[in-house]
Amino acid sequence: MIRALHPVKPKLVVIGNGMAGARLLEDVLALDSELFDITVFGDEPYGNYNRILLSNVLNGSQDAKEIFLNSLEWYKENDITLHAGQRVTKVDREAKTVHAGELTVPYDYLVFATGSKPFVPPVPGTSLHGVFVFRTLDDCRNIANYAKGCKNAVVIGGGLLGLEAAKGLMTHNVGVTVIEMAPWLMSVQLDEAGGKVLGQTIEKMGITAKTGASTKEFIGHTQVTGVRFADGSEIPADMVVVSAGIRPNTDLAKESGLKCDRALVVDDQLRTNDPAVFGVGECVQHNGMIYGLVAPLWEQTKVLAKVLTGVDTVAAYTGSKIATKLKVMGVELASMGRISDLQSTDEVVQFSEPSRRVYWKAIIRDGKVNAACLLGDLGPADDLMRMFHAGTSAPERRLELFFSANTEKKETSLADLPDSHQICDCNGVCKGTIVKAINAGKCTLPAVGKATRAGTGCGSCKKLIKGLIEAVAGGVKADPSEGWYVPAVPMDKPTLVFEVKARGLKSVSAVLAELGTSEDEKSKAGLASMLKGLWGSEYIDERDARFVNDRVHANIQKDGTFSVVPRAYGGVTTADELIRIGEVAKKYNVPMVKYTGGQRIDLLGIKKEDLPGVWRDLGMPSGYAYTKALRTVKTCVGSEFCRYGTNDSTSLGIALEKRYQGFEFPAKVKLGVSGCPRNCAESTVKDVGVVATEGGEWEVSIGGAAGAHVRKSDVLCRVKTQAEAIKVIGRFLIYYRDNAKWLERTYDFVPRIGLEAIRSIIVEDSLGIGGDLDYEVEKTAAAYVDPWLERDYPVYAGQFDDARRISLPVLT
């Protein structure tokens, strides 16, 4: 019926009905179940099955029926023509037809999912009776049947599949010897020490492992009787299972004239050199890599389905990070990356517990988990895999890779703290005081804050306070104000922005008059920041909505004096500037001249009335070290002078600072640029950090902090040029400016929104707002005026004045 309605449905032909081919069909159908007229060719006379579970069939723990993914009925139901057990013999790319024996099927799109075949070493005797490969359901059955009359089985190959085969054979009461050419078992996933641990473990189970052994010949007349090695030694064997790895099935692709290297070469859209022909799974080579595990295959089929259906024609497969958890012969094993890929600059973290046969090893490259293997106990595996996949930095204390500080324990111990324990270090509030407030009914963060001031400083203790409320009162009461942008206006930010725009409210007083329920300093400052970003030059700037720092463009100190930090772009200065700063310090008797953590010079103890003069004499722009705006861009020396530097971090830092100076945000924003992965500018604990990598790229990360709250930033993307870095950072900064809550630092904002979501919006432009963000950057940059120029034109009465002296009339 459907066919009649759509007589010209494009024809999709898939060669291969293994896990890749079948999964691709599922993915395509999920996106558009009626788009294609689908035909599938499968070598085996079945629907498709989960090859990973083959060893379970071999050892009898699962029935063959249980490992099928899609039955033959499934193909019928989905209107897919399946040619099971029919091998494609020829592809005519000119005519766009596929031939299998007598059968000719035309295609519009053709997908190679031909998978791989077992590698059989080119030694004599492979055709003897009793020599098997272990790859298909039929192999499985044949091995199981043959094993019944056998005493000694030899498995060639001590990799994953070989060990699985050995495990399967064990259940058939056969003595099993595993032969591995490499010096240890599972040489891809494990290092030597790990391989030895595994060897000991399986020996305990009654399997003999012979490593470093090169097979020379299978001996026997018609039936195999033994295996001979390169060193001349022999062992008896009445059956042999060859499981020495796999090789991609590329014969058909090669014969069809498609470009093949070690496998069928595909691009990021899984397309071959013929635009109508694609490849997926173990038979393809992407970016030099061939994957033999199932996870990368899922990633590939997902992308290919999008490309084929046109849902996302530029969907890109960019390679897979290999990580697996498996159980080999009862031994738990987790493997990430390539453990054998060790460079001299890598850091190796290892732990072993020989009595329990536990062995953990992680390789840290550029501060990240590059590879790891865990054996015997997978306690830290999940955390390691998360780090490995996300590309987040390894903990500073490397031992936390394996023995992470258990946060749950921390929280439960909250109840055990003495009442005198200080919870809020900013305001010096002890646990006892907070508990008292909670018992008095203050069961929200703001209520506790109002009653005790706890949590109203830097806010880093809020989690602890929440924990206390939970422990004491049994739960934190829902606090509707938590979602509000500022306390005085009961709206979240998007609603507020909408109302403000709809009503044309361009000043803080107008917003408070129309939408506000109260008036407080925090709300005023928050609204001022938001309105400035929203209206730009149309914003009506009421100075009473600003905190004193933002009125006099300096940071108030405990004695009412101010600190002055001029901009030093990228932390770079000159002799002349230094002399000028020195002269200013002398002229105004500056009590303290200090280097800041952000590579600038701070003049502390300046009287308010001296500010204009100090600025004038410095002749440098404001460093904004007093407000919620772009602060410093810390840099390392970089390739200009540093003998390790791989890229010009100072020039990028300067460019970033010049571009984004004067940008105001919901909270302060600090940047860092490091010229090599040594990361001397500590870029990974900045709101936005950039680190040059080997190969001339820049890695941009976001959401870092190293204050009251310490957080390692999350990698947003890698870019090739400074211009790209500046652009993507600008997009992120504007997105943060427009979406963060007032005073919400990036270290809270990034996890709240989610790194993946931010990446898709900022890097992949999934919302299509990239252009708008760029425009906002332009607009904001164009609006920049050095606030210190107000030195010559004070904006309101007494802006920079000392107390006016009034003498009292003499009493009479």
Binding region for other proteins (CB under 8 A): 453, 456, 509, 518-521, 524-525, 542-548, 551, 556, 558-560, 608, 796-799, 801-809, 811
Q: Report CA dihedral (199, 201, 205, 211) to the nearest 10 degrees.
A: 0
CB nearer to other proteins: give 478 or 797.
Answer: 797
Nearest-approach distance from CB 449 to other proteins, in angstroms = 11
For residues 530 and 742, the answer to whether their CB atoms sit within 8 Å is yes
- In this structure, how many other beta carbons lie within 10 angstroms of the beta carbon of residue 250? 23
- What angle, 0 to 180 degrees and rounded to 10, lies between the N-to-C axes of helices 722-739 and 649-660? 40
- Environment class of residue 460 by beta-carbon count within 10 Å: exposed (0-12), middle (13-18) or buried (19+)? middle
Q: Under the phi-then-psi rule, with left for phi > 0, alpha for psi from -120 to 50, and beta for the rest, what region is 320? A: beta
Nearest-approach distance from CB 505 to other proteins, in angstroms = 15
Query: Integer distance in angstroms from the first to the last C-alpha of the chain?
Result: 112
* Gap between the Cα atoms of 737 and 762, Å rounded: 13
CB nearer to other proteins: give 415 or 548.
Answer: 548
For residues 27 and 305, the answer to whether their CB atoms sit within 8 Å is yes
CB nearer to other proteins: give 405 or 808.
Answer: 808
CB nearer to other proteins: give 336 or 614.
Answer: 614
Nearest-approach distance from CB 620 to other proteins, in angstroms = 24
CB nearer to other proteins: give 60 or 798.
Answer: 798
Nearest-approach distance from CB 521 to other proteins, in angstroms = 4
For residues 364 and 311, the answer to whether their CB atoms sit within 8 Å is no
CB nearer to other proteins: give 66 or 520.
Answer: 520
- Environment class of residue 341 by beta-carbon count within 10 Å: exposed (0-12), middle (13-18) or buried (19+)? exposed
Q: Under the phi-then-psi rule, with left for phi > 0, alpha for psi from -120 to 50, and beta for the rest, what region is 137? A: alpha
Nearest-approach distance from CB 499 to other proteins, in angstroms = 21
* Gap between the Cα atoms of 384 and 378, Å rounded: 10
Nearest-approach distance from CB 800 to other proteins, in angstroms = 11
Q: How many angstroms separate the Cα of 415 from the Cα of each of 405, 431, 463, 472, 506?
A: 18, 10, 14, 9, 48
CB nearer to other proteins: give 106 or 487.
Answer: 487
E strands in 101-151: 103-106, 109-112, 116-118, 131-133
Joined together, the tokens standing for residue 697 give 């790229």
Nearest-approach distance from CB 193 to other proteins, in angstroms = 57
CB nearer to other proteins: give 360 or 800.
Answer: 800
For residues 112 and 252, the answer to whether their CB atoms sit within 8 Å is yes
Nearest-approach distance from CB 796 to other proteins, in angstroms = 4
Among residues 95, 93, 71, the alpha carbon closest in space to that of 84 is found at: 71
For residues 405 and 396, the answer to whether their CB atoms sit within 8 Å is no
* Gap between the Cα atoms of 297 and 284, Å rounded: 10
Nearest-approach distance from CB 615 to other proteins, in angstroms = 18
Q: Report CA dihedral (251, 252, 255, 259) to the nearest 10 degrees.
A: -80
CB nearer to other proteins: give 575 or 808.
Answer: 808
* β 422-424/429-430 pair status: antiparallel
CB nearer to other proteins: give 261 or 425.
Answer: 425
CB nearer to other proteins: give 574 or 812.
Answer: 812
* Gap between the Cα atoms of 345 and 370, Å rounded: 12
CB nearer to other proteins: give 509 or 693.
Answer: 509
CB nearer to other proteins: give 624 or 736.
Answer: 624
- Environment class of residue 702 by beta-carbon count within 10 Å: exposed (0-12), middle (13-18) or buried (19+)? buried
Nearest-approach distance from CB 805 to other proteins, in angstroms = 5
Nearest-approach distance from CB 795 to other proteins, in angstroms = 9
Nearest-approach distance from CB 540 to other proteins, in angstroms = 12
CB nearer to other proteins: give 319 or 446.
Answer: 446
Nearest-approach distance from CB 460 to other proteins, in angstroms = 17
- Environment class of residue 319 by beta-carbon count within 10 Å: exposed (0-12), middle (13-18) or buried (19+)? middle
Nearest-approach distance from CB 548 to other proteins, in angstroms = 4
Nearest-approach distance from CB 626 to other proteins, in angstroms = 11
Nearest-approach distance from CB 742 to other proteins, in angstroms = 15
CB nearer to other proteins: give 478 or 811.
Answer: 811
CB nearer to other proteins: give 520 or 778.
Answer: 520
Joined together, the tokens standing for residue 422 give 């200080």
- Residue 122: CB partners within 8 Å, gap ≥ 6? none
For residues 334 and 372, the answer to whether their CB atoms sit within 8 Å is yes
DSSP letter, residue 803: P
CB nearer to other proteins: give 222 or 812.
Answer: 812
Nearest-approach distance from CB 596 to other proteins, in angstroms = 20
* Gap between the Cα atoms of 777 and 770, Å rounded: 11
**C-alpha radius of gyration, the chain, whole number:** 34
Nearest-approach distance from CB 797 to other proteins, in angstroms = 5
Q: Read out DSSP for 656-718? A: HHHHHTT-B-SS-EEEEEESSTT-TT-GGGSSEEEEEETTTEEEEEE--EESSSEEPPEEEEE
* Gap between the Cα atoms of 735 and 732, Å rounded: 5
CB nearer to other proteins: give 135 or 442.
Answer: 442
